[in-house]
Amino acid sequence: MFGAPQVASSWLVCYDCMVRNGAIPGRPLAFGALQPLKMPSSLPCDSCIGRTLNLCRPLDDVRLQHLLSLGGIRHWKRHETLFRAGDPIGAFFKIRKGIVAVAHTLDDGRRQITALRAPGDCVGYLDRDGRYAFEGQALTDVEACAFDRRKFDAYVAQHPDLAAALVEALSSALKQSGMLSLVLGQLRSTERVAHFLAEISALYAERHVSFAQPLTLHMGRNEIADYLGLTIETVSRSIGKLKSRNIIALVESGEVVILDFERLRDAGKVTG
Amino acid sequence: MFGAPQVASSWLVCYDCMVRNGAIPGRPLAFGALQPLKMPSSLPCDSCIGRTLNLCRPLDDVRLQHLLSLGGIRHWKRHETLFRAGDPIGAFFKIRKGIVAVAHTLDDGRRQITALRAPGDCVGYLDRDGRYAFEGQALTDVEACAFDRRKFDAYVAQHPDLAAALVEALSSALKQSGMLSLVLGQLRSTERVAHFLAEISALYAERHVSFAQPLTLHMGRNEIADYLGLTIETVSRSIGKLKSRNIIALVESGEVVILDFERLRDAGKVTG
DNA sequence: CGGGAACTTGATCTCGGTCAATATTGGTGG
DNA sequence: CCACCAATATTGACCGAGATCAAGTTCCCG
DSSP classification of residue B10? B
Is there a single domain that holds both residue A170 and residue A203? no
3-state SS, chain A, equals CCCCCCCCCCCCCCHHHHHHCCCCCCCCCCCCCCCCCCCCCCCCCHHHHHHCCCCCCCCCHHHHHHHHHHEEEEEECCCCEEECCCCECCEEEEEEECCEEEEEECCCCCEEEEEEECCCCEECCCEECCEECCEEEECCCEEEEEEEHHHHHHHHHHCHHHHHHHHHHHHHHHHHHHHHHHHHHHCCHHHHHHHHHHHHHHHHHHCCCCCCCCECCCCCHHHHHHHHCCCHHHHHHHHHHHHHCCCEEECHHHCEEECCHHHHHHHHCCCC
Is there a single domain that holds both residue A139 and residue A253? no
Q: How many folded domains does chain B comprise?
A: 2
Please tell me which residue, A39 or A135, carries the higher pLDDT value. Answer: A135
- Cβ–Cβ under 8 Å, residues A155 and A102: no
Please tell me which residue, B166 or A220, carries the higher pLDDT value. Answer: A220
A 198-257, residues with C-beta < 7 Å of strand C = 220-222, 232-233, 235-237, 239-240, 250, 254
CATH number for the domain that contains residue B81 = 2.60.120.10
Nucleotide nearest B239 (Cα, C1'): D10
Q: Could you tell me if B132 lies within 8 Å of chain A, comparing CB atoms?
A: no
Is there a single domain that holds both residue B24 and residue B115? yes
In B, minimum Cα distance to A166 occurs at: B167
To probe the interface with B, which of A182, A231, A269 has the most B CB atoms within 10 Å?
Answer: A182
Q: Do B178 and A269 make contact, defined as CB atoms within 8 angstroms?
A: no
- B4 found inside a domain: no
Q: Could you tell me if B156 lies within 8 Å of chain A, comparing CB atoms?
A: yes
pLDDT at A34 over 50: no
Weakest-pLDDT range from A32-46, A87-101, A207-221: A32-46
- The pLDDT score that the predictor gives to residue A107 is 94
**pLDDT confidence band for A225 (50 / 70 / 90):** very high
**pLDDT confidence band for A62 (50 / 70 / 90):** low
- The pLDDT score that the predictor gives to residue B68 is 54
Is there a single domain that holds both residue B101 and residue B207? no
Dihedrals φ, ψ of A146, to 5°? -105, 115
How long, in residues, is chain A? Answer: 272
**Nearest in space to B81 (alpha carbons), one of B129, B125, B136, B30:** B136
User: CB of residue B54 closer than 7 A to nucleic acid strand C?
Assistant: no
Q: How many CB atoms lie within 10 A of CB B11?
A: 15
Q: Could you tell me if B75 lies within 8 Å of chain A, comparing CB atoms?
A: no
Is there a single domain that holds both residue B168 and residue B204? no
Average pLDDT over every residue of A7-29: 38
- B219 found inside a domain: yes
Rounded-to-integer distance, Cα A54 and Cα B34, Å = 38
Average pLDDT over every residue of A177-182: 98
Q: Could you tell me if A229 lies within 8 Å of chain B, comparing CB atoms?
A: yes
pTM for this entry = 0.84
Final residue in a domain of this structure, among A124, A145, A176:
A176
- The pLDDT score that the predictor gives to residue A41 is 34
- Cβ–Cβ under 8 Å, residues A109 and A68: no
Weakest-pLDDT range from A169-178, A216-225, B21-30, B253-262: B21-30
pLDDT at A167 over 60: yes
To probe the interface with A, which of B170, B179, B183, B266 has the most A CB atoms within 10 Å?
Answer: B170
- Cβ–Cβ under 8 Å, residues B143 and B82: no
**pLDDT confidence band for A66 (50 / 70 / 90):** low
Whether the link from the prior residue into A214 is cis, omega within 30° of 0, is yes
- The pLDDT score that the predictor gives to residue A68 is 54
Is there a single domain that holds both residue A129 and residue A196? no
Give per-residue pLDDT as tens, B50-75. 443 333 343 444 554 565 566 677 88
- The pLDDT score that the predictor gives to residue B66 is 60
Buried b (16+ CB within 10 A) or exposed e, A73-101: beebeeeeebbebeeebebbbbbbbbbbb
Residues of A with Cβ-Cβ distance to B106 under 8 angstroms: 182, 186, 269-270
Residues contacting A75, CB < 8 A, separation 6+: A141, A142, A143
Rounded-to-integer distance, Cα A194 and Cα A230, Å = 13
Q: Exposure of A107 by Cβ count < 10 A (0-12 exposed, 13-18 middle, 19+ buried)?
A: exposed
Rounded-to-integer distance, Cα A272 and Cα B21, Å = 41
Is there a single domain that holds both residue B147 and residue B203? no
Beta bridge partners of A145: A73, A94
Q: Do B104 and A178 make contact, defined as CB atoms within 8 angstroms?
A: yes
Q: How many CB atoms lie within 10 A of CB B164?
A: 22
- The pLDDT score that the predictor gives to residue B63 is 54
- The pLDDT score that the predictor gives to residue B65 is 53
**Percent of all residues in chain A with a pLDDT value above 70, rounded to a whole number:** 72
**pLDDT confidence band for A37 (50 / 70 / 90):** very low
- Cβ–Cβ under 8 Å, residues A124 and A135: no
3-state SS, B70-119, equals HEEEEEECCCCEEECCCCECCEEEEEEECCEEEEEECCCCCEEEEEEECC
In B, minimum Cα distance to A174 occurs at: B174
Tell me which residue range forms the domain holding A226: 187-268
At residue B204, what is the residue type? Y
Is there a single domain that holds both residue B164 and residue B60? yes
Distance from CA of A164 to the nearest CA of B (A): 7
Q: How many CB atoms lie within 10 A of CB B81?
A: 12
Distance B190 CA to C19 C1' (A): 22
- Cβ–Cβ under 8 Å, residues A49 and A78: no
Give chain C positions with protein CB within 7 A: 6-11, 15-20, 25-26
Q: Could you tell me if A97 lies within 8 Å of chain B, comparing CB atoms?
A: no
pLDDT at A116 over 90: yes
Distance A265 CA to D14 C1' (A): 34
- The pLDDT score that the predictor gives to residue A205 is 81
Q: Do B164 and A173 make contact, defined as CB atoms within 8 angstroms?
A: no
> B165 in helix, strand or coil?
helix
Beta bridge partners of A122: A94
- The pLDDT score that the predictor gives to residue A65 is 53
- B3 found inside a domain: no
At residue A151, what is the residue type? K
- Cβ–Cβ under 8 Å, residues A71 and A150: no
Final residue in a domain of this structure, among A176, A199, A229:
A176
- B5 found inside a domain: no
Axis crossing angle, helix A160-186 with helix B160-186, rounded to the nearest 10: 20
> B11 in helix, strand or coil?
coil
Inter-CA distances, A229 with A187, B51, B225, B262, Å = 11, 36, 18, 27
Final residue in a domain of this structure, among B155, B178, B201:
B178
- A9 found inside a domain: no
Is there a single domain that holds both residue A163 and residue A208? no
Give per-residue pLDDT as tens, A243-263. 999 999 999 778 999 999 999
Beta bridge partners of A165: none
Weakest-pLDDT range from A82-96, A144-158, B12-26, B132-146: B12-26
- The pLDDT score that the predictor gives to residue B151 is 82
Distance A205 CA to D29 C1' (A): 31
Is there a single domain that holds both residue A99 and residue A230? no
- The pLDDT score that the predictor gives to residue B239 is 98
- A7 found inside a domain: no
Residues of B with Cβ-Cβ distance to A133 under 8 angstroms: 175, 178, 272
Q: How many CB atoms lie within 10 A of CB A16?
A: 23
In A, minimum Cα distance to B181 occurs at: A181
**pLDDT confidence band for A86 (50 / 70 / 90):** very high
Please tell me which residue, A64 or B140, carries the higher pLDDT value. Answer: B140
Is there a single domain that holds both residue A39 and residue A169? yes
Is there a single domain that holds both residue B212 and residue B155? no
**pLDDT confidence band for A267 (50 / 70 / 90):** very high
CATH number for the domain that contains residue A204 = 1.10.10.10
- The pLDDT score that the predictor gives to residue A147 is 82
Give me the residues of chain B with pLDDT under 50, please.
1-61, 64
CA contacts within 13 A on the Cβ side of A257 = 8
- A192 found inside a domain: yes
Given the DSSP bridges, would you call strands A71-76 and A142-148 parallel, antiparallel or unpaired? antiparallel
Distance B65 CA to C5 C1' (A): 67
Please tell me which residue, A106 or A146, carries the higher pLDDT value. Answer: A106
Distance A168 CA to C6 C1' (A): 39
- Chains A, B: CB contacts under 8 A, how many? 117
Distance A265 CA to C28 C1' (A): 49
Distance from CA of B255 to the nearest CA of A (A): 26
User: Max CA-CA distance within chain B?
Assistant: 62
Average pLDDT over every residue of A198-206: 89
Beta bridge partners of A91: A148
Q: Could you tell me if A129 lies within 8 Å of chain B, comparing CB atoms?
A: no
Weakest-pLDDT range from A10-24, A194-208, B147-161, B211-225: A10-24
- A119 found inside a domain: yes
Distance A96 CA to C27 C1' (A): 61
